[in-house]
Amino acid sequence: MTALFNFQSLLLVILLTICTSTYAHYVFPGIMDRNKDNYLVAPFWKCARVGERLSPYVGLACFVMAASKFMGQW
């Protein structure tokens, strides 16, 4: 089953994209800021902005997803 049809997997993919984009923007800020109007980089730049501005909520969501995955294996 792909992540598009499983809601929990879709949320996990979105959270991982936000976290990865935020980290990439932190490490290479010039590359993402320079190409933020490019149609390939723009979604990742927007995910990086979400990760920077809503970092407590993104962190909490990552913790909840990890806990739900951990508790689902018991």
* Dihedral angle of Cα 6, 8, 13, 16, to the nearest 10 degrees: -170
pTM of the model: 0.80
pLDDT at 3: 59
- In whole angstroms, what separates CA 60 from the centre of its chain? 13
User: Measured between alpha carbons, how far is 56 from 28 in angstroms, rounded to an integer?
Assistant: 22
Query: How high is the pLDDT of residue 18?
Result: 93
Residue with more model confidence, 9 or 53 = 53
Q: Where is average pLDDT lowest: 5-9, 36-40, 63-67?
A: 5-9
pLDDT in tens, 22-55: 999 999 888 888 888 888 888 999 999 999 999 8
